[in-house]
Amino acid sequence: MNKYKQMLIDFMEEKLKQLRTCDIYKKLENQEITYFNEQDKKAILEWSEKDALHIWNALEYWILKEKSDGLGASVCPFCIKYLGNCQYCGYAQSHGICHLDTSNYKKIVRAIGLKKIFNLFSNEWYKQIIEKIKNKYI
């Protein structure tokens, strides 16, 4: 079973659901500016289960121990996997390299605003999502 891969997909889908609570994000989706899509799911499914476990453990560390929030690298399975090697990242291939102004990530953050991003994706929100997903699979 690919439990940890599915946990990572669920994690990203929860983030997508949270973004969709913003009217601004819905308008971006209409322009085909997306945060997480089927191509991203397929990319995660191509990872080894060992890598997925390592990434899940890293997410737990960053969220539970370091109190990460927002939409930065510490709460992104793709950033954790590729550790700055964006040219190999499947997410970067479908959305653009995150630190570039032309990427979907930058467009989403600019449109919604950092303050709202940090409110939507608080550390408390992430803790609840981690717990919800763990309860489902572990």
Whole-prediction pTM value?
Answer: 0.96
Q: Convert the pLDDT of each residue in 58-114 to its tens digit.
A: 999 999 999 999 999 999 999 999 998 999 999 999 999 999 999 999 999 999 999
Query: For 28-40, how does the pLDDT look when each residue is reduced to its tens digit (9 = 90+)?
Result: 999 999 999 999 9
Checking if the pLDDT of 1 tops 80, the result is no
CA 117 distance to own-chain centroid: 13
What values do phi and psi take at 34, rounded to 5? -120, 160
Would you list the domain boundaries of the chain?
A: 3-137
